[in-house]
A and B are shown apart, each in its own frame.
Chain A
């Protein structure tokens, strides 16, 4: 099955700085890579996703890059704001295998 590893487990950044979270996956057949944001006590919410035929995707302050050869993908958040503080999960399809999560804290 798919094995997804996510780093770092915690990340503290100053407001306005960038945050980067990295994930690796094992199954070369995986073709869909979503990122979810989960605030305390709430459901995971999709923030951005990328398919295997694309190398990079951007949506305002959030971007995701995918390197299929190396089997890794990354989430980039620029100009971080306090409301970006949450736990972020990467996932790889098939069956949506999740990483262990990264707790992001944005310091005001």
Chain B
């Protein structure tokens, strides 16, 4: 059984560009969350989706958006990229959104904005 998969693994973009990151959860998992991890810091919560509905949003600007598809995969979109958006973007999947269940992380997408 495949774990959480993210694509691409690495990405280099220019300031002002747009980026789309993708995540496929573990089979059977209906909740997907996105995190931004800047070097040397803990993951910061961006979004959570459950059954295709947004269930939570962290303290990130409107340039960040996400969606979840009927097959429970998810996309994170970032517009008008800034240098400060350079980070490791992690996706995590879990069975439910509210019950205390384990979250499994993907390997992340390393985004570099130049």
User: B35 to chain A: which residues have CB within 8 Å?
Assistant: 96, 98
Asked if A96 and B92 make an inter-chain contact with CB atoms under 8 angstroms apart, the answer reads yes
Sample 10 A-B pairs with CB under 8 A, ordered by A number: A34-B102, A44-B105, A49-B102, A89-B42, A93-B100, A95-B48, A95-B58, A98-B45, A100-B41, A100-B42
Interface size class of A (residues with CB under 8 A): 20 to 34
Chain B residues engaging chain A, CB cutoff 8 angstroms: 33, 35, 40-45, 48, 56, 58, 90, 92, 98, 100-108
CB-based nearest B residue for A101:
B42
Given contacts A31-B100, A98-B44, 9 further A-B contacts (CB under 8 A): A32-B101, A34-B103, A46-B104, A89-B43, A94-B56, A95-B45, A95-B48, A97-B45, A98-B43
Asked if B42 and A51 make an inter-chain contact with CB atoms under 8 angstroms apart, the answer reads no
